[in-house]
Chain A
Amino acid sequence: MSTHSLNHTIADTTVLTGRSVRHITRSLDTIITTAVMPVAIMVLFVYVFGGAIDTGDAASVDYMLPGILLITIASGVTYTAVRLFTDMQSGIFERFQSMPVARSAALWAHVLTSLLANAVSLVIVVAVAVLMGFRTGAGPLAWLAVAGILALFTLGLTWLAVNAGLSAKSVDGASAFAYPLMFLPFISSAFVPTETMPAPVQAFAEHQPVTPIVNTIRSLFEQQPVGTDGWVAVAWCVAILVLAYALATATYRRKTA
């Protein structure tokens, strides 16, 4: 890619990202809805089930928060799928495609918007958690690591959402892909220690991406060594990202001839 066309791509992506960010600022409810469900689950687990779940020494909100953050992302990316689907339906994508606009810009704009919107939702959820008593001694580096792994997870899920948005036949279809994702934390170490689960469930829980990611974030918040969980978590995120990205760009190329 020449520098001219790279500049071109960056300029187009910036313009189109501005457009979809504007969509969100015009319907702030999408960000709030994204945050409401995870907050409700957090309240439920901490105040209703909290006493019944053995979380060791950790206060239950401290224990729950990492899983809640992942649920927030899984519900947040559904809006990305819906926004993309709407663009495909409305014909505005065809307009961009018949114009001298960099091909990848239209997708990257949605991806960057997703990162931004999810960051805002995550900040809201963390703020609520703090009000509910979440405390951590994590320093700036640990926070940076938490932000990094959440960003990587968001990026991977966002590209999955891009696939869903590109191939869906209806708005409901576009968001349906995220339901299993939102469910994954419940069969992981996010809310109950995996040792308490029946053997087959435990086997699944320990070999799906949410468990190492949750363990990593939890260790970072508790200022404990991350251990191999950190690498496994990053490996899962990168694997999801690479696969989803490859699939999405192939689908996009096929759809837009």
Chain B
Amino acid sequence: MKLTLKIWRQPSQNVKGKFETYSLDNVSEHMSFLEMLDVLNEKLSFEQKVPIAFEHDCREGICGTCSLVINGQPHGPLQGTTTCQLHMRNFKDGETIVIEPYRASAFPVLKDLSVDRGALDRIIQAGGFISVSTGQAQDANAIPIEKDVASHAFDAATCIGCGACVAACPNSSAMLFTSAKVAHLALLPQGKVEAQKRVLNMVRQMDLENFGNCSNITACEAECPKGISVSNIALMNREFLSASFSSNDAN
């Protein structure tokens, strides 16, 4: 197939960017989207031009490194699919594809299509853990956990930290990401002990990082490649409210 690509080029964080247009022939429908970009980059290299910077690693939808907004959608048109798992058979011959970085003030563009998502790490550092040091654990089967509860916690724990929810949200809110971790840990007996402190600290960090507020648009859920449910946001709100009433300080 033959494609026209409009790709955001930005030399660095403090320099203004703009779209550049490229055309690419001989794209196989079996290629993944990122392999298509590899081919373009190899071509640019061959023409002694600077290749396009984009982020990726596992290329199997699990590391959360790939990003991209493709034709206006984070991770492209296919539901439940990361950019790296998207294949060219989902596009039409002759199509023009617009590729841009995530847009959110908490995710500054570093170069071309790469953005800085360090804010998500700092939210986890604020409380997204259970405080147990190595060697302190009791036998793993000492606390039975109901299969359904474990499975529910698991669903929340599958978040890959890609940030598509933020990019999808008109307010650039990180509620889906944050609530997924809050829910994962709050649902498990091991995580309940610190639940109040955790939610207060994580929400506070989220606000400090300049993410927007949630206004229940649920675009995050629609674009999340892992199908993280907005019901986690409801759970987090409940946890937050009850924690705010019963605890006067978090740290």
Q: Do A and B bind each other?
A: no
Residues of B at the A interface (CB closer than 8 Å) are none
Residues of A at the B interface (CB closer than 8 Å) are none
